[in-house]
Amino acid sequence: MENNKIPTVTVSQVNRLVSNIIGNEKRFKDLSVKGEISDFTRHYKTGHLYFTLCDENSKLKAVMWASNANKLNFSPENGKSVVCRGFLTVYEPSGVYQINVVSMEPEGSGEQAKELFELVQKLDKEGLFKQKREIPKFPKKIAVITSQGGAALQDIINITRRRCPTVKLLVIPATVQGVNAASSIVAAFGVAEKSGADTIIFGRGGGSSDDLSAFNDEAVARAIFRSKIPTISAVGHETDTTIADLTADLRAPTPSAAAELATPDLQEVMRKFEALLNGIEYRVKSKISLCEAALNEKSRLINALSPKNKIAEKSRAAEVLFERITQSVHRKIMLCESTLERQISVISALSPLEVLKRGYSITEKDGKAVMKSSELNVGDKVEIRLGSGFASAEITETRE
């Protein structure tokens, strides 16, 4: 019997053979694998993702290059169930086969997207996205529905104080993320409806799609639509559009932008008023110049027609004409002055100093206005700005 000698190959040759077999198999060139992430690592320099997909019985190594990882709209992490699409490869130096992930999404997100699309179609058919009311130009009170300690609230406060310090902000705290977020937002709208506000700003800072899920809730959309007060959506994300954005009367890309859309810039109002005043003055002067020119022309004609009997007649006519012109000019000036006084009254009413004259005061600590009793401690020295003058005081007690 002849002995068949089995050829001897290197480890590299074996791994290369396995790599070729896997690489040429059509079933391995495009497949989707679902599993739970473990051993997750993001390379701090390259941005590549390295992790393992697990189920109850097996594990599969996975890699996702930075060019694909940068397109993810969620943050992968250990313990999260995902669906990965890609192709199988063999890493020949270690002899390990793995899935080269091209795209990845949380398990069930496809069904969620379908449900969201169907909800958008349903609400659009009912007309919830067609209600677009005008936002008041000079609001007295704005209700803000957002997280109490979020950066979004501070942005709105800062912008409002800078643009229109006379407007009152009513903060209605709400949970904007998590299981109870939708019901919390709906309840906050109920409070806002009874607040006497002119405008409602609602939203939060940016976040992932999961973080923003409350603003895709049907109950929230219907609460926005039912609101009798015009609404501005201030969810801090520019790439994704939520159902709340579609339902609101106006959408702002950020909370800061919402504050700008909701309030007038008083400095700009003053500049426009001054321009209007200058325009009135110019028109009055032009009118007077035209009248003077007409009078001069009449005088010239009178002098040209020199018979004494016509001179007296023309003189009387000229005097009557002059009187009419003068009365017309006076009426025009009085009308302009009346308009000016009304504009000044509006500006004065918006002035913080006028608010102080009505009996209000501003309490300052270390040169800053005190907004809440929690900012004060017993024994603190404070300065009280009154309608006329200042007073110093010491805090003996604070209450909520």
DSSP character at residue 148: T
The yes-or-no verdict on residue 134 having pLDDT over 90 is yes
- Residue 1: what pLDDT? 45
Question: How crowded is residue 148: how many other Cβ atoms within 10 Å of its Cβ?
Answer: 10
Whether the full predicted model's pTM is greater than 0.75, yes or no, is: no
CA distance 307 to 315: 12
pLDDT in tens, 20-65: 888 788 888 889 898 999 999 999 899 999 999 998 889 999 999 9
CB 53 within 8 A of CB 36: yes
Q: How far is CA 260 from CA 167, 215, 229, in A?
A: 12, 22, 18
Taking 70 as the threshold, does the pLDDT of residue 2 lie above it?
no
Transcribe 42-95 into DSSP letters.
E-TTT--EEEEEE-SS-EEEEEE-HHHHTT-SS---TT-EEEEEEEEEEETTTT
Are residues 65 and 89 in contact, defined by beta-carbon separation less than 8 angstroms? Answer: no
Structure letter (DSSP) for residue 86: E
d(CA 175, CA 173): 7
pLDDT digits (tens, 9 = 90+) for 170-202: 999 999 888 898 999 999 999 999 999 999 999
Return all residues near 153 (Cβ < 8 A) that are at least 6 apart.
Answer: 144, 146, 147, 171, 255
User: How far is Cα 308 from Cα 327, in angstroms, rounded to an integer?
Assistant: 28
Token representation of residue 292: 């003077």
Residues 251 and 219: beta-carbon distance below 8 Å: no
Longest dimension (CA), the chain: 159
Cα four-point dihedral sign 68, 71, 73, 77: positive
> Does the structure show a pLDDT above 70 at 238?
no
Residue 352, pLDDT > 90, answer no
CB 135 within 8 A of CB 262: yes
pLDDT tens, 61-96? Answer: 999 999 999 988 888 888 888 899 999 999 888 888
